[in-house]
Chain A
Amino acid sequence: MFRGKLFGVFIAVFLVFLYAPTLLLPIFAFNDSSIVSFPLKGFTTEWFGVLRDTKPLHVAAKNSLFIALTSAFLATILGTLAARVASRYKFPGKQAAIGFIMVPMVLPEIIIGVSLLVVIIQMGMSLSLWSIILGHVLICTPFCIAILNGAFMNLDQSLEEASFDLGHSKLKTFWLITIPLVMPGLVSSMLISFTISLDEFIIAFFLAGTEPTLPVYIWGQLRFPAKLPSLMALGTILLVLSLFLLGLAEFFRRRGVKRTGQMNSGGFL
């Protein structure tokens, strides 16, 4: 079984390459030295204390959370509408329209960032958190559509007709039948958009104005070697937070699958 062994080694090397750098984050976050290098010096929680006392960091984090939540929410709403149209209705030019909506997924972000900057300046508007949200909604929406289109395609149309037939209005039907049944898709869509927006750098950098997001703030701090350990601590917090979010999303997805008795078709974990 030489080939089998080789394949196993390959997978091991690949996983180490993928995760080892990430694992360095928590190690150095608790290392009692202002220089990020081996050998380790001792255990400390000092760097987390530094984070607690760095006010600009709090502002950046708050900005990022606000932008990520708002973008995720808006992109998911837009994605829901587009996916609904894509899966239910036929009209001339539909393919082209959906195609153009999906393009930002592959467009270089630097192009989106620069062109949005030009447009916003030309229109005489000032840069704010909302200009970043605009950019993030633009790049998140295609992902939402891709996820939600699947959810809407899997939804049996006669369920909605049955609800309408049994006396509920179209709006009530959407609320009582459609939304609960595409909920796993909505959760996935929100989560993906939230993640994309939270760590997006280029657009945020171009459109930030005077209010930096977390990635922009971190990039700014990298110039000061003394700040590195506290950035490691920040990275550790973000890592734990993402794992928690991922677990939460998977929990809701599995519960949804179980409740509706559908086939368990993949998911994140």
Chain B
Amino acid sequence: MSNNAIIRLENITKFYGDFQALQETNTEIMRGEFFSLLGPSGCGKTTLLRTIAGFEHPSNGVVYIEDKPMTDVPANKRPTNMVFQSYAIFPHMSVEENVAYGLKARKLPKAQIAELVAEAIEMVGLKGFGKRASHALSGGQRQRVALARALVLKPKVLLLDEPLSALDKKMREQMQTELRRLQRAVGITFILVTHDQEEALTMSDRIAVMFDGEIAQIDTPQGLYKRPNSRRVAEFIGVMNFMSCEVIAHDTASLDVKVAGLGAVTVPKDQAPAGIVEGMKAAIRPEMLTILDTNEKSEFETAAKIDEVSYYGDMTYYEVRFGGHDENVTISMRNTAGRETLSTGDTARIGWGVESILLLP
């Protein structure tokens, strides 16, 4: 293993009776990294998180934290702390008492506890709220208390189980930035479970996308968006257009394919899966297609008919129809000055480049 890994999952599987919640999982999570487990509900991401925390015991395999096997280490002895989806703030205690709760288990002197608690409360921006009864707090404030309560223990790894899902949109966006800032400030490894791809993309250093109890791909946000390794991942992260394609010829450097609606293209090997896969599709992001203005030129051009227009203010989304492809293709255009918005029924020239086409299994 690389020396920089703080958590190593070795052959982890989890069964609930006959149901396999986790397929064999082998992964390393690096020291100081913001790592996200992203997937639809029921994909096993929370099970994996709770396995790292010690609340679930893997049916097979070992969780290593800093090279020490955690098999016989219960949750209260692991160097991990968790922020729960419901925050789990103790309702019969004040903010201070909540934050001091874990320190009391360590039997530190009173003065030191008070000092650490005050520090943690200030760090999460709740200075002056220490004496507040915890049930008198808003959702965002509860979230901060939960963070302070976990971070005050200086865990090696902080586990966050869908921490933002209970907040409204504005609060969520604010907390995203703040979580990121906090993570950089304390330098602790964060593992975040979320079903919200935008949340994962904006906050994480690396993301593991999970489907059906299995990690489908681990990469940086950019890597995942630009080079998804399967159709499923491509669809889950952002919007992706798929077009059927046919391989005409291939050599070591590139493939000649015929893409429905776009015609014949030569695609470099690194934009295609290793080997020739039956039923591959050509994939292209909406922003990689351009509706050309009268004088604009592009490497490749295809004529299309506008089927539907959705205006979002800063952006316009078009559903267009290419000849030879029987599904609508989504194009997103930034509404820059001077660019006119087309309407349904118009014909347009669509510009694109080879580098924006991916072949996906």
- A-to-B contact residues, CB < 8 Å: 156, 158-159, 161-169, 172, 176-177, 180-181, 259-262
Decide: A261 and B101 in contact? CB cutoff 8 A. no
Interface of chain B residues 55 through 108 with chain A (CB within 8 A): 55, 74-77, 80-82, 84-86, 88, 90-92, 101-102, 105-106
Specify the main secondary structure of chain A where it touches its partner.
helix
Interface size on B, residues (CB 8 A): 27
Nearest A-chain residue to B136, judged by Cβ = A261
B53 near A: Cβ within 8 Å? yes
Cα of A159 to Cα of B76 in the assembled complex, Å:
14
A88 to nearest B CB, angstroms?
14
A-B contact pairs, 14 of them (CB 8 A): A156-B86, A158-B86, A158-B88, A164-B75, A165-B76, A165-B81, A166-B150, A166-B153, A167-B76, A167-B105, A167-B106, A168-B101, A168-B102, A168-B105
Residues from chain B with a CB closer than 8 A to the CB of A176 are 101
Decide: A181 and B92 in contact? CB cutoff 8 A. yes
Cα of A176 to Cα of B97 in the assembled complex, Å:
12
Decide: A159 and B88 in contact? CB cutoff 8 A. yes
B149 near A: Cβ within 8 Å? yes
Known: A161-B55, A260-B135. A168 touches B76 (CB 8 A): yes
Residues from chain B with a CB closer than 8 A to the CB of A163 are 90, 101
B133 near A: Cβ within 8 Å? yes
Cα of A167 to Cα of B155 in the assembled complex, Å:
11
Nearest 7 pairs of A and B residues by beta carbon: A261-B135, A166-B102, A167-B105, A162-B88, A260-B91, A158-B88, A158-B84
Known: A161-B84, A166-B81, A167-B105. A259 touches B75 (CB 8 A): no
Nearest B-chain residue to A259, judged by Cβ = B92
Nearest B-chain residue to A168, judged by Cβ = B105
Nearest B-chain residue to A159, judged by Cβ = B88
Decide: A162 and B84 in contact? CB cutoff 8 A. yes
Residues from chain B with a CB closer than 8 A to the CB of A181 are 91-92
- Per a CB cutoff under 8 Å, which of B55, B86, B88, B102 touches A167? B102
Residues from chain A with a CB closer than 8 A to the CB of B153 are 166-167
A102 to nearest B CB, angstroms?
29
Residues from chain A with a CB closer than 8 A to the CB of B135 are 260-262
Most buried by B among A158, A164, A167, A180: A167
Residues from chain B with a CB closer than 8 A to the CB of A262 are 91, 135
- Per a CB cutoff under 8 Å, which of A161, A168, A172 touches B88? A161
Residues from chain A with a CB closer than 8 A to the CB of B106 are 167
Cα of A161 to Cα of B55 in the assembled complex, Å:
8
Cα of A163 to Cα of B105 in the assembled complex, Å:
10
B282 to nearest A CB, angstroms?
45
- Per a CB cutoff under 8 Å, which of A158, A166, A177, A260 touches B85? A158
Cα of A166 to Cα of B85 in the assembled complex, Å:
16
Nearest A-chain residue to B135, judged by Cβ = A261
A32 to nearest B CB, angstroms?
53
Decide: B76 and A261 in contact? CB cutoff 8 A. no
Cα of A181 to Cα of B92 in the assembled complex, Å:
7
Cα of A180 to Cα of B101 in the assembled complex, Å:
15
Residues from chain A with a CB closer than 8 A to the CB of B136 are 261
Residues from chain A with a CB closer than 8 A to the CB of B85 are 158
Residues from chain B with a CB closer than 8 A to the CB of A177 are 90
Cα of A167 to Cα of B149 in the assembled complex, Å:
12
Cα of A177 to Cα of B84 in the assembled complex, Å:
16
Cα of A260 to Cα of B94 in the assembled complex, Å:
10
Decide: A261 and B133 in contact? CB cutoff 8 A. yes
Decide: A261 and B91 in contact? CB cutoff 8 A. yes
Residues from chain A with a CB closer than 8 A to the CB of B53 are 165
Cα of A164 to Cα of B102 in the assembled complex, Å:
9
Residues from chain A with a CB closer than 8 A to the CB of B92 are 180-181, 259-260
Decide: A165 and B75 in contact? CB cutoff 8 A. yes
Nearest A-chain residue to B152, judged by Cβ = A166
Cα of A168 to Cα of B74 in the assembled complex, Å:
11
Residues from chain B with a CB closer than 8 A to the CB of A166 are 76, 81, 101-102, 105, 149-150, 153
A259 to nearest B CB, angstroms?
6
Cα of A265 to Cα of B106 in the assembled complex, Å:
37
Decide: A156 and B88 in contact? CB cutoff 8 A. yes
Residues from chain A with a CB closer than 8 A to the CB of B55 are 161, 165
Chain B 175-207: CB-based contact to A (< 8 A → 1; otherwise 0): 000000000000000000000000000000000
Most buried by A among B55, B76, B153: B76
Cα of A260 to Cα of B93 in the assembled complex, Å:
8
B108 to nearest A CB, angstroms?
11
Decide: B76 and A164 in contact? CB cutoff 8 A. yes
Nearest A-chain residue to B137, judged by Cβ = A261
Decide: B86 and A172 in contact? CB cutoff 8 A. no
Most buried by B among A162, A167, A261: A162
Residues from chain A with a CB closer than 8 A to the CB of B86 are 156, 158
Residues from chain B with a CB closer than 8 A to the CB of A259 are 91-92, 133
Residues from chain B with a CB closer than 8 A to the CB of A159 are 88, 90-91
Residues from chain A with a CB closer than 8 A to the CB of B149 are 166
Cα of A172 to Cα of B107 in the assembled complex, Å:
13
Residues from chain B with a CB closer than 8 A to the CB of A180 are 92
B109 to nearest A CB, angstroms?
16
Residues from chain B with a CB closer than 8 A to the CB of A161 are 55, 75, 82, 84, 88
